[in-house]
Amino acid sequence: MQTIQHWINGAYASPADSRHADVTNPATGKVSGRVALASAAVVNEAVAAAADAFPAWRDTSLARRVQILFNFRELLNARKGELAAIITSEHGKVLDDALGEVSRGQEVVEFACGIPHLLKGGYTENASTKVDVHSIRQPVGPVAIISPFNFPAMVPMWFFPVAIATGNTVVVKPSEKDPTAVNWVAELWKEAGLPDGVFNVVHGDKEAVDTLLEHPEIKSVSFVGSTPIAKYVYEKGTAAGKRVQALGGAKNHMIVLPDADLDLAADAAVSAGYGSAGERCMAISALVAVGGIADELVAKIAERTRTLRIGDGLRGTDMGPLVTKAHREKVAGYIEAGEASGATVVLDGRQVKADAEGDGFFLGPTLFDNVTPDMSVYTDEIFGPVLSVVRTETYDEALALINANPYGNGTAIFTNDGGAARRFENEVEVGMVGINVPIPVPMAYYSFGGWKNSLFGDSHAHGAEGVHFFTRGKVVTTRWLDPSHGGLNLGFPQNA
């Protein structure tokens, strides 16, 4: 059986760890490998490699850094099918979705290829008499990236291209549920010419995470995961003096106004609610039907959902399994709770018949109607293929639901009224807003991140905020004295 090892200083580490975890193919339920779980000593070894590599990488010219980034981009583009297949085999999402994940991550690589322009400082001549001032941005040092299971390639790529391009060295701790994708990326970096020690991978659980959060050589931490863990990472990391961007959970609402194109809205609700089996932090899980459109809209959603093929992601299906058996049972428990609390079960995913071999972790799309804000299917982030329809009479009621929610990651409104859309984008208290766009994930040159309990820290991922997160500003004031200068002046400079 394959043993998935750590990648440290440009090579796979020797199998010294005594603890391992099973890696499973969610479509078959079969164990496909074992992943080493790093001890503190192994994490320290990876951090030491990153720290040793940092001075030389920091001083590597921008031209050379960008050349390596372009090499990496070309290799990734040529071989992204390999990476997508790895993602499908360990996460379970269908192959087309996995290819989309890789492509969205590659956009950040391409953004980082323009880093020379983004690192330009400012210059002021004669800020004071014969005194010039200029600003520069410098890398922070070795950085840690702790990524989740739902996007094993894209989420790390939100961070490491910008971190590496700006001159930092990296230690990535991927999810132990689907660890192979980041190892594949590490090999690709080496092939692209990245010096050893600039990109390192450690696999593990809480012991590895805590070691990274406490290690004095780690200067910043980038995290994506559930809100309770994001808060823990933020508090523990900042207490250790580190910069932290910790992206947490979500409960994303989609408002449909009475004037909306209901066919478009139904297509969007199915795609955004059930894509990747709902295991997206940007998935739509609460649909708010305003006015008298709910009956028609629910019928259209149900009609479309019944056409979806559920099964192994390598068989051309529309939706794959959930990532683990335990997670599948957790989501099924929410369906039971929703039914018990009085929500109308329009479609029950527990009755799914999947196109797959073995005993995979399948749960079909579930649609609830007449959901109320006190039900757990509404209040909790389920992270599965469960879509809840809430009915309101007015736009104001719908907006109040969203703004009262403790999460603020993504939201959407479907309407043909430009005034209503403009009002919504102004009034809604959410970080990423879609207007007739159900999953408003921004392009790489903007930044990704939510408000409220969906983000701990001040900086969002990638874009200009990502560049600032992985660099520190420095301002230099310069005076070169000409030969005629002389004499003493004990007065305070007057900037004249």
**What does the chain come to in residues?**
496
Contact assessment for residue 13 and residue 44, using Cβ atoms and an 8 Å cutoff: no
- Crossing angle for the helix pair 206-214 and 227-239, nearest 10 degrees? 30
Side chain identity at residue 246, one-letter code: A
Q: Which of 164, 27, 11 is nearest to 88 (CA)?
A: 27
DSSP code at position 431: S
Contact assessment for residue 415 and residue 260, using Cβ atoms and an 8 Å cutoff: yes
C-beta atoms surrounding 49 within 10 Å = 24
Burial class (CB in 10 A: 0-12, 13-18, 19+), 419: exposed
Measure CA of the first residue to CA of the last residue in the chain; give whole Å.
Answer: 74
221 beta partners: 144, 244
Q: Tell the residue number behind the tokens 């018949």, with chain if given.
A: 353
Pick the catalytic residue from 76, 172, 281, 363: 281
Task: Tokens for 485, please give them.
Answer: 């200068």
- 281 catalytic? Reply is yes
**Beta-strand runs (E) in 123-231:** 123-128, 131-139, 142-146, 169-173, 199-201, 220-224
DSSP code at position 469: H
Helix H or strand E segment including 407: strand 407-408
Q: Which residues are catalytic?
A: 281
